[in-house]
Chain A
Amino acid sequence: MLLRTEVRAPATASPDYGYYRRGGERRLAVIEFLNPVLFGGLFAVSAPIIIHLLHRRKIKQVDWGAMRFLLEMMAKRRRRLFLDELLLLLVRTLIIAAIAIAMLRPALNRRNVQAGASGLARQGRTAAVLLIDDSVSASAGRAQPAFESMKKLALAYLESLAPGDEVSVVQMSQLGATASDPIFDLEGVKSSVANLKPGYVATDIPALLDAGLSQLKRHINPGAELVLVTDGRKDGWRPDDKVRWDELRERLRGPNNAVPGTRQRPSVILLSPAGAGIDDNLAITSILMDRTLVSAGRPATARVVVANFGKQASRAATVQLSVNGQIVGTKQVSVPAGGELESAFPCTFPTPGSYGLEAALVNHQDLLPADDRRALSLQVESSVPVLLVDGQVSQGLETKLGFLEYALDPEREERGPFKVTRIPITQLRPSLLQENRVVVLGDARVLEPAMVDALERFVVGGGGVLVGLGPDTDRELVNRYWARNGEGFLPCPLANALTPPKPAIPTVISLVHPVFSGFGARNDEAWKAAKVRSYFKLDLKSVKSPDLDPLLKMDNDDVLVAERRRGLGLVTLVATSLNADWTELPVQAAFVPLMRGIVGRLGSFVTPPRNLQPGEQIIYARVKDPTRAMQGEDPAGKPLALAAGAWEGRDAIVSEPLLTPGIYTLHDPNEPGPIRCAVALAPAESALAPVTDREIAQAFDRQPGIFHSAEQVAANLDPARRQSAELWRWLLVGALGFIFLETLMTRREAAGSARGEPRLNPAINSRQ
């Protein structure tokens, strides 16, 4: 609660309300109440007046003979009596007012407005929220980790605070945890800050600032400071996320009339160690399989990507890959500056089950050791159940999905990676979705509303859906019920059906996409004969979602295949038919690897996910006998805390948040083998390029206070330079003074009354 007061300044007083000038600086005087919840107490001020009025209403009537003396007295002392009464009432009211206002804890701030705008002004008692970027990148450093320098800066900042200031500490690794109340014990805060250690989470500066603003609401002191302690790594600032930064800037700016440095428009202070940002780092950024669906007993290749984030080519390093703790190969790599290198490791997984792959740079000294290892959880299947829903009730290749069925399971012996079931659309029931990992709709005309609802839930829960169109597709129905303006399970709405005069030729947009892993070097030739005669133009522009990903386009730039994540699942939309009605694709060689790639990707999603980031929890949905106890181990072999939970309406086991990267193991007595989950760092954390002060200023839309050393902090945030004070002490002193004055007045009145006390014997008095 703010109250601006006009301050009488010397001759240079500014006409601006609440502002004045001193020594050429524009200053602002603000009274802020730190305890506004007690504003109702001000009503107590009216108590003496009410009592006075009630007292006046309780009037007793007396017939009085000696009126002439009263009239004479009133003629002489009416004004005096009135003033006495008014003064006494005023004094009593002021006593209560002073106490009531003191309880509101008013603080008078006199600030340099320009300094406040830059975020450096100190405003009386400070509410400080320390935002500690304890991401994995903070552990990088040559002589010592950057995090140690960050802690020194944070401690220097805490030294600049004074008793009465309150502090909250928000850590990047603790975002989402229950917020705690601010504390006034500065020594305790210093001790806890000194004991902080960097975690393995990814940096997200906008999220950290957002949490700081929320935490600031729990503070009561008038001066508000968001103190961001970071290693100054550029990627953590998420400069491309303009939407979040726009919202954040809006919140930091507050209302138009917000006073700089208050909770409505807090000061932002950035503490970043000098020289933060190390641009010399070799990291394993990913482990990829050469196919989306890995089948038991079939050869597969694991590709380990090593990236050099430095400015110089790395020395030769050894990449080692192990599967379930067994080393399966090592490779020597030397990565050019700013580049990345892929190392292939052939692997065969003999039985279906959960595997843990871990790649590491061995015999390698690095400035950021945390990203020299990387883990991947891989689910190896014997076959993926796929449900083909044919829009046509017939058998053979001439149906809508006949080609697809042969492409996925040509021998129909269920020995391949896909276990295919084809049904006509008339037999589709919601219950069938639970038995399959992938559902393919082939030129389906109509779906029951309940079925549409079931499909949406199937996708959100982690299922995969492939939608093929065709001449029977009713665009209106599809857009209305399946797409629902981008809210349905379809990736995007459909525009008109097109039949170009010249058939279109498909073109792969990005060969690195897992869908195209089966094409290899013959990619271009594979598509030349796959002519598309007719197709639906996809209305991609109407869906503003980063999850929408075009995979295949045509030579006329219209998109042929697009996928979109929906919840935990994935939906792929093919703009033409999956049979030969509208395209030559099904009878071309590219059709088989394309379809196997798409369906394999759709069926490869393991839900709940087992490849996690630091801070996330393992969720394991149990299918069989949920009453049997499960056990878990962390990468160091220590027991993992597990608790009963739920996932999508099913019983589930939920672990504690996983803080350390590596392979975590769960033992389900109902399963033949262990379940392995992997925690891997965000690849972006390995990029240690520093953010510049200019980029920071652009991000904030104003210049925050940036300090790179403890000396700068001490020089700019000296507690002795505060220009404000809480007023409650003065108010209580004033209240005591008023009480003393009231006592004097009432004693004087009582003395006057005592002179008029009844005589024991009036006659005797009179004679005397």
Chain B
Amino acid sequence: MSLLQTVQQEVIERLGNLSITARQAVESVLAGQHRSVRRGLSVEFAGHREYQPGDDLRHLDWLVWARSDRYDVRQYEEETKLRATIILDTSGSMGYGSARQSKLEYARALAAALGFLMIRQSDAVGLVTCDTAIRQFLPPSSTMGQYLNILSVLESAAAGNETSLAAVLNDIAERITRRGLVILVTDAFDDPKAFLNAVQYLRYRKQEVWLFQVLDPQEQVFPFKGMIEFVGLENEPRLKLDGDRVRAHYRSVFEEHQRQIKSGCHAARVQLQTCWTDEELSSVLIRALTSP
């Protein structure tokens, strides 16, 4: 089943007209149902600003250029659209999967569904795939072509390298200059302190952050019995352990990690959704989009 089919099945058929609502005003260059706090290109003129690479040349104020030989862009105050960036973690640990699909497959479907929902309500959506660095970057856009690009990038995303989300998030925070929504789809198997610091930085940069933590049930249960040689997916050293004997210790470490992530997200007012790969995608979306 392709990603598009998955999205159609999971999102269109089960969610219907459920929409994404930003909890705070976001800045957008496009008109939408979200109230903008920034100058835009709509009806009421708000002023000029200096031309930035990437600005549409149609918005250049040629009169200003003629008068002062400066490249200024006209700005208007108007209602803006949501500008969201989906960050998909493609580190090696995302490749693990004990159920019918791996965490990465689950995360790709989740990202596609979220992207589809936002494109459908004319919000701009961008996509970043990353592990130790940014691998793909699609700036936010609200066109259907953007959605197809997103699907294309998601289809080609593969798990591989080590996890270093904190550094990547800091990098992304620097790149996203406008207020918006950052949707993190990851297992968050990173140093919790550094990861939460990076999230805090995103929040500092006026981004609303949603964290979808994708986990495999076995990562919590640790059902292994007898001697097992654990082979890491991120080039970690191999470990030979008796599953029965280390289960309790593993569980305590895992739960401590989860507790830190949860409390860190709560402190940073980040919406945390824990997703299990054996869970229906629609359930996750409903839970996320209807949560207060």
Contact in complex: A70, B250 (CB < 8 Å): yes
Check B174 for interface membership: any CB of A closer than 8 A: no
CB-based nearest B residue for A766: B274
Check A411 for interface membership: any CB of B closer than 8 A: no
A62 to B98, CA, bound (A): 11
A55 to B248, CA, bound (A): 20
Stretch of B32-40, B122-130, B140-148, B234-242 contacting A (4+ beta carbons < 8 Å): B234-242
A56 to B250, CA, bound (A): 20
Contact in complex: A65, B189 (CB < 8 Å): yes
Partner of B230, one of A62, A757, A765, A766: A62
Interface residues of B (CB under 8 A from A): 92-96, 103, 187, 189, 216-217, 219-224, 226-234, 236-237, 239-242, 244-254, 257, 274, 276, 278-279, 283
Contact in complex: B227, A81 (CB < 8 Å): no
Known: A759-B217, A762-B278. A70 touches B241 (CB 8 A): yes
Q: Mark A406-449, 1 if CB is under 8 A from B, else 0.
A: 00000000000000000000000000000000000000000000
Check A85 for interface membership: any CB of B closer than 8 A: yes
Contact in complex: B251, A755 (CB < 8 Å): yes
CB-based nearest A residue for B94: A65
A753 to B257, CA, bound (A): 19
CB-based nearest A residue for B278: A762
Distance in Å from the Cβ of A48 to the closest Cβ of chain B? Answer: 15
Known: A61-B231, A62-B231. A753 touches B274 (CB 8 A): no
The 8 A-B residue pairs whose C-beta atoms are closest, nearest first, are A65-B96, A752-B248, A756-B247, A67-B232, A65-B93, A67-B236, A64-B230, A762-B217
* Contacts beyond the supplied A755-B248, A763-B279: 12 A-B pairs with Cβ under 8 Å: A55-B227, A59-B240, A60-B229, A63-B96, A66-B219, A69-B253, A71-B239, A72-B253, A85-B245, A753-B244, A762-B217, A762-B279
Interface bin, chain A = 35 or more
Chain A residues near B230 (CB-CB < 8 A): 62, 64, 67, 70
CB-based nearest A residue for B230: A64
CB-based nearest A residue for B247: A756
Chain B residues near A63 (CB-CB < 8 A): 96, 231, 233
CB-based nearest A residue for B91: A65
Complex A-B: 15 CB contacts under 8 Å: A55-B226, A58-B226, A59-B229, A63-B96, A65-B93, A65-B189, A66-B96, A67-B93, A67-B234, A68-B236, A69-B253, A74-B239, A753-B247, A755-B248, A763-B276
Partner of A62, one of B224, B236, B242, B278: B224
B interface majority secondary structure: mixed
Check A40 for interface membership: any CB of B closer than 8 A: no
Question: For window 45-98 of chain A, which residues contact chain B by CB distance below 8 Å?
Answer: 55-56, 58-74, 76-77, 81, 84-85
Contact in complex: A762, B224 (CB < 8 Å): no
A377 to B221, CA, bound (A): 103
Known: A62-B230, A759-B221. A81 touches B246 (CB 8 A): yes
Question: For window 357-390 of chain A, which residues contact chain B by CB distance below 8 Å?
Answer: none
Distance in Å from the Cβ of B77 to the closest Cβ of chain A? Answer: 42
Contact in complex: B232, A81 (CB < 8 Å): no
Count A-B pairs with CB separation below 8 Å.
Answer: 127
Check A163 for interface membership: any CB of B closer than 8 A: no
Partner of B250, one of A69, A758, A763: A69
A interface majority secondary structure: helix
Chain B residues near A61 (CB-CB < 8 A): 228-229, 231
Contact in complex: A56, B240 (CB < 8 Å): yes
Contact in complex: A65, B95 (CB < 8 Å): yes
Distance in Å from the Cβ of A276 to the closest Cβ of chain B? Answer: 75
Chain B residues near A557 (CB-CB < 8 A): none
CB-based nearest A residue for B190: A68
Distance in Å from the Cβ of B193 to the closest Cβ of chain A? Answer: 13
Check A547 for interface membership: any CB of B closer than 8 A: no
Known: A762-B276, A763-B279. A62 touches B251 (CB 8 A): no
Chain A residues near B246 (CB-CB < 8 A): 70, 73, 81
Distance in Å from the Cβ of A64 to the closest Cβ of chain B? Answer: 4
Contact in complex: A73, B250 (CB < 8 Å): yes
Check A250 for interface membership: any CB of B closer than 8 A: no
A763 to B280, CA, bound (A): 10
CB-based nearest A residue for B227: A59
Contact in complex: A762, B228 (CB < 8 Å): no
A507 to B92, CA, bound (A): 122
Chain B residues near A58 (CB-CB < 8 A): 226-227
A66 to B236, CA, bound (A): 10
Distance in Å from the Cβ of B189 to the closest Cβ of chain A? Answer: 6
Chain A residues near B189 (CB-CB < 8 A): 65-66, 68
A72 to B256, CA, bound (A): 11
A756 to B225, CA, bound (A): 11
Chain A residues near B93 (CB-CB < 8 A): 65-68
